Amino acid sequence: MQEIIRTRMPFSDFLTLLPKSGSFYLNSKTLLINFAQVQSISEDSKILLKNGESVFCSRRSRKETQDAYFSYVFHNLRNDEAY
């Protein structure tokens, strides 16, 4: 299900409302990524989403974004194994 939510709230205020689960990652001032919806991140900075869409992050932030995603995946794998 894809849903568009529109708000007049400042982006910084919106960010404070997001859960602190670690699944949301602010890649830049304009790209907020929900890692729970990411299927993969390629070497060419392409982020493939589970719904088939893709977005690109800048080459400058690619490594940092990949590291954050792998950390998220690793953390979730460890939590799944604990149960």
How would residue 46 be classed by pLDDT, with cut points 50, 70 and 90?
very high
Cα separations (Å) of 51 from 11, 14, 46, 82? 24, 24, 14, 28
| Mean pLDDT, the chain, integer | 86
Statement: residue 82 has pLDDT above 80: no
How would residue 81 be classed by pLDDT, with cut points 50, 70 and 90?
low
Whole-model pTM above 0.85? no
Nearest to 53 by CA among 40, 71, 72, 70: 40
